[in-house]
Structure 1
Amino acid sequence: MTLPKTPSFRLDGKRALVAGASSGIGQACAVALAEAGAHVTLVARGTGKLNALKDEMTAQGMQVSVLPLDICDIAKTETAVADQGPYDILVNSAGLARHTPATDTTEPDYDAVTNLNVKGAYFLTRAIAKGLLIANKPGSLINISSQMAHVGAIDRAVYCGTKHAVEGFTKSMAIEWGPHQIRVNTICPTFIRTPLTEPTFSNPDRMKWINEKIKLGRIGEVEDIMGAVVFLASDAAALITGTSLLIDGGWTAD
């Protein structure tokens, strides 16, 4: 009898680009990929936090480089990715939320959130894929979406709309690039404890709502995302594309 062999979760020899890597979920994803053996390029707008993260990761034996970049600048992003690539793995964790009732949404807020969450994400994903197509290489492209890409919520009409859009273009890209063995997926977290989410957690009414919706009875930590991103990036997920991995504590189960 020949027993099946579990595909490797290791990422040795792979090059990964993580956007939004300076804090929160992006930082956790960068560490997870590097721990699994990938060389990780850290991307964010500023250099201070990126360099501090690079120094700490390098001190622990991880392979890391820094690429200061605003992914809303499409031309610069495409040039940088073409010059530095090809990358085998993309994790796009750059995102923005400005929560208000829909009747109070301002055009500048709508444009800012949409420009980063949809346009920036779309063209960054495309840029990484173009490098892989030119090099005739397979790859795994992961956009950090949200449970709000599958439900709605008060004060989050714009944010929900952008994340629904990410799910839509992810499926289309997965269909288009599947024959080239380029996989495109999303990770959809629930509320994760990060510096950006602390204002929500300090609001008793919001916490009551969150606790009622998360069936496992706790908010998420960045560590809850780390195993998922390594899985989707690795050969263990070789037949997974065009789908969403919900890490929501059961929020969307009903």
Structure 2
Amino acid sequence: MDKFSLAGKRALVTGAGRGLGRATAEGLAAAGAKVALVSRTSAEIEEVAAAIGANAVACPGDISATAAIPGMLDEIEKKLGGAIDVVLHAAGVQHRQPAQDFDPAEWDRVINVNLTAPFLLSQQIGKRQIQRGMEGSHIFIGSLSSHISLPDVVAYTASKSGIYGLIRNLSTEWSRYGIRVNGIGPGYFRTKLTEAVFADPERQQQLMDRIPMQRFGDPEDLAGAAVFLASPAAGYVTGQLLMVDGGWIAS
């Protein structure tokens, strides 16, 4: 089981204050990694860091402020005590509106946070890893909408489809350097982004009827996938989007 250990690794997790980001950060830390928790909400990540303990450091920051990414990484590396081995992009936003009425400003916001910012963050981390001659693991959070369309979330679908393309392209370019790039595709999980769906009993039942495992995901269900993709156990795995969806896409 040593291949699943992340002892001695340094990881950065965005959106680490709640939901999927928190659960994956906790999983990486439990596997032995020292984890930098990144979020705009200082109080949330301070609480998560305290809950995790010595293997976590709170790093308040806004990844959507893309011009600040290089300086942010400098500070994170100082707090971690060295270079970043693993980055997991869990920060994300949502906006629900019919496509014909979709607000252009909301389109820009969703694309920036869900697609542009993760690319620019990985670009900077990947550049540093290549310059230092070190291996790495970049893990993006995709979605059911990386594969299929869902109503009233056109920007989100575009961003998560783009994430799958980004995974494939970065994997093709960076594999020669020992940098693996993969993704996790969650199904329906109870998080802040899905509040509107779970508030509608009829819609909730429609979704449950579509899930072969007959349950919604818990954020902790992603921890194993994150640890696997970050670890040496996945040493020959790259360019993949691992669906953690209760069987939705397969059915």
TM-score normalised by length of structure 1: 0.93
- Counterpart of 1:13 in structure 2 is 8
Q: Following TM superposition, by how much is the alpha carbon of 1:66 offset from its aligned partner in structure 2, in angstroms? A: 1.4
Q: Which residue of 2 aligns with 1:125?
A: 122
Match of 1:241 in 2: 238
Contact conserved, 2:115 with 2:160, CA < 8 A, in 1?
Answer: yes
Question: Equivalent residues in 2 for 1:100-179 (5 A)?
Answer: 100-179=97-176
Does the 8 Å CA contact 2:36/2:76 hold for their aligned counterparts?
no
Q: For residues 29 and 173 of structure 2, what CA distance do their matches in structure 1 show? A: 29
| Paired residue type of 2:118 | A
Q: Please give the per-residue CA displacement for 1:165-208, whole angstroms capped at 9, x wherever unaligned.
A: 01111111101100000000110000111233233112023212
Aligned sequence identity (%): 36
- For 1:121 and 1:202, the matched residues in 2 are separated by 29
Query: How many pairs were matched up?
Result: 246
1:3 maps to what in 2? Answer: none
Kindly provide the CA deviation profile for residues 84-142 of structure 1, in whole angstroms up to 9, marking residues without a partner as x: 43200001100011011111201111111011011111101111111211211001100
Write the distance in 1 (CA, Å) between the matches of 2:169 and 2:2: 27
- CA RMSD, 1 decimal: 1.3
Aligned residue among 93, 96, 99 for 1:99: 96
What letter matches 1:119 in structure 2?
Answer: T
Scaled by the length of structure 2, what TM-score is found? 0.94
Gaps of 5+ in 1: 1-5
Give the Cα–Cα distance (whole angstroms) in 2 for the partners of residues 251 and 43 of structure 1: 30
Indicate conservation of the 8 Å contact 1:69/1:77, yes or no.
no
Superposed CA deviations along residues 40-89 of structure 1, whole A, max 9, x for unmatched, are 0000012111111111211xxx4111111111111211222145432000
Find the residue that maps to 1:197 and give its secondary structure. helix
Unaligned runs of 5+ in 2: 78-82
**Deviation of the 1:27 alpha carbon:** 0.3
The answer to whether the Cα contact below 8 Å between 2:12 and 2:88 also exists between their aligned partners in 1 is yes
Matched residue of 2:137: which SS?
Answer: strand
- How far has the Cα of 1:7 moved from its partner? 5.7
Structure 1 residue 218 corresponds to structure 2 residue 215: yes
Q: Which amino acid aligns with 1:136?
A: G
Q: Give the partner amino acid of 2:238.
A: T
Q: 1:76 aligns with which of 68, 73, 78?
A: 68
Summarize deviations over 1:223-253 as a string: whole Å, max 9, x none: 1101000000001100000110001111111
